[in-house]
Chain A
Amino acid sequence: MNVLDLFSIMSTHLIELMGIGLCLALILRFIAFRSGKKNLVYFRTLSRSMEKNLDKPENQPGDLKEIDGWFERMMDTVKTELPSRNLRISDDFKPENGKAGFRSQGKKTLSEFMTTKRDILYNINNQINALRSPFPPNFMELSRRVLRQDPLWTTIVMIIPVDTLQRILGILPGLFIIGGIFGTFIGITAALPMIATIDLSDLDGAAPILNSFVANIAYSMKTSIAGIIYSVILTLLNTIFPITSVRTEITEGLARTFEHIWTRIHKDKMTPGEREIVASVTKLCTLIENNMHEKKSKS
């Protein structure tokens, strides 16, 4: 089979091929959307849990030097409150009731261990240096940096990269239209030479040729119609149920949580510059006060 034969088969079954493409796109879209919703629930719980722990009086951050320990303790508490995100890989190795055994059973791979709730929490823990800074970091960028390292965020079913999928879903409506137009041109190109074979003197013999011509033209129109319909379906879904908006909401939510943590860490602490300003102003006030006292005593 050569390229031309393949091309011929493709053009004959273009509507079916586009249909398969649409079904695949719809399935992946659905999985991505569902995954996004699951992520949304998870990250909302994470944010609420972190903020709830921040509000407890016994969990207030102390000195900046002890921030690492404080943060780690808080994340440990949050970890116990979180649900397991991936239902296939659950963090179910809870101690059995009863006496300690010789050796614990039930082992998992490092990848499974990391893709339970630990991965995102490890990534958040690693950002503590950014939160230690007296100057507010770019919280959105921090949030994106944390999320980018989480395979459950960057992939669908741990295989398909979400960014690539979103880009493909974005261009698919256009591709369907182009496919439809392509089918139209193929059909017309295939049909037109038939006209040349018509013998005008034998109109009865021309009937099958004309029928074939009409069938080809009708097929070419059908591919355009199919392309338009597929494009409209996907465009409507992309508009009404966008995948990006859920992910943006999650990123913004996490950024707000980081901002909340940073504010708590630095609430009563001044930057070195601010301390200098306060010291200088205090000194100035003292000088002015002393000056006024001297003038009063002289007068």
Chain B
Amino acid sequence: MSIPSELRSCPLFYEMYEKEIKKIASRGLVGFYKPGDFVVRDGETGEEIYVVLEGQLMVRKNTSEGLLDIAPLSKGDVFGEMVLLDEKIRSADIVSIEPSWVLELSYRQIFDVYEKEPRIFGVMLLNLARLLAKRLRSTNKIIVDLKKHLTPEQK
């Protein structure tokens, strides 16, 4: 079985050999979501990490002003990774906008890797830390940009 190129380029699997990616990914299940299907719901508990193999999803938040589309997710993008840091409550809705195939890996399946292949687990956690750091930097940048548009009273 050849690994989809989306998994090779997934940030969670950087610097891993194909054999190592296969060891992790082959434990997961691939689900199909038609447009409008929710992959995860805001506020629900979950134990899965997801990688988009095909199609497109949207990160969506229900605010007081209505539905807010936060970011699109396409091939190779990963979401739900906070479950590795013991954060089980989902923080947004993930909705399918196109017919999509998504790989699901459970927390238990990934922690089983720790017991058998600690090196692979270590690399994966390192990648997770990099991913979170990148998102934090991006969020900081957005906050700075937003603050520039605030009036002194609003600040």
Proximity string of chain B (45-88) to chain A, C-beta cutoff 8 Å, 1 when within and 0 when not: 00000000100000000000000000000000000000000000
A-B interface, 7 closest residue pairs, ranked by CB to CB distance from nearest? A100-B36, A95-B34, A93-B32, A107-B29, A113-B30, A107-B31, A104-B33
Residues of B within 8 A of A149 (CB): 2
Count residues of B near A (Cβ-Cβ below 8 Å). 25
Chain B residue contacts of A150, Cβ below 8 A: 2
CB closest residue in chain A, given B36? A100
**What's the A-B contact tally at a CB cutoff of 8 Å?**
66
Which residues of chain A (131-186) have a CB below 8 Å from chain B?
A: 149-151
Q: Within the complex, what minimum Cβ distance (angstroms) separates B129 from chain A?
A: 25
The distance from the CB of B114 to the nearest CB of chain A, in whole angstroms, is 20
Bound-state CA distance A96–B96 (Å) is: 15
- Report whether A100 and B29 are in contact in the complex, using a CB–CB cutoff of 8 Å: no
Q: Give A90-112 as 1s and 0s: 1 = Cβ < 8 Å from B's Cβ atoms.
A: 00010110011111101111111
**Is there contact, CB below 8 Å, between B28 and A119?**
no
- Report if A35 contacts B (CB, 8 A): no
**A: number of interface residues (CB 8 Å):** 28
A238 at the interface (CB under 8 A from B): no
In chain B, what residue has the closest Cβ to A106?
A: B32
Q: Which of B14-35 contact A (CB under 8 A)?
A: 25-26, 28-35
Task: Tell yes or no: B39 within 8 A of A by CB.
Answer: yes
With contacts A100-B36, A104-B31 known, is A95 near B2, CB below 8 A?
no
Chain B residues positioned under 8 Å from A123 (CB to CB): 2
Q: What are 27 sample pairs from A and B whose C-beta atoms fall under 8 A apart?
A: A95-B99, A96-B34, A99-B36, A101-B37, A102-B38, A103-B37, A104-B34, A106-B31, A106-B32, A107-B31, A107-B32, A107-B104, A108-B29, A108-B30, A109-B29, A110-B28, A111-B26, A112-B30, A113-B30, A113-B53, A113-B101, A114-B1, A114-B2, A122-B4, A126-B5, A149-B2, A150-B2
Task: Indicate if B120 sits at the interface (CB-CB under 8 A).
Answer: no
- Is the CB–CB distance between A122 and B26 below 8 Å? no
Interface contacts beyond A103-B37, A104-B33, A114-B4: sample of 6 additional A-B pairs, CB < 8 Å, sorted by A? A107-B31, A109-B26, A110-B1, A111-B1, A122-B2, A122-B5
CA distance in complex: A111, B39 (Å): 21
Docked-complex contact B2 and A110, CB < 8 angstroms: no
Query: Which residue among A104, A106, A109, A112 has the maximum number of chain B CB atoms within 10 Å of its CB?
Result: A104
| CB interface residues, A 243-289, toward B, < 8 Å | none
Contact residues in B for A47 (Cβ distance below 8 Å): none
Shortest Cβ distance from A224 into chain B, in angstroms?
Answer: 46
Contact B1 A119 (CB under 8 A): yes
When distances are taken between beta carbons in the complex, the residues of chain A under 8 Å from B124 are none
Binary contact readout B118-131 vs A (1 if CB under 8 angstroms, 0 otherwise): 00000000000000
Q: A100-B37, A102-B37, A107-B30 are in contact. Are A151 and B5 (CB under 8 A)?
A: no
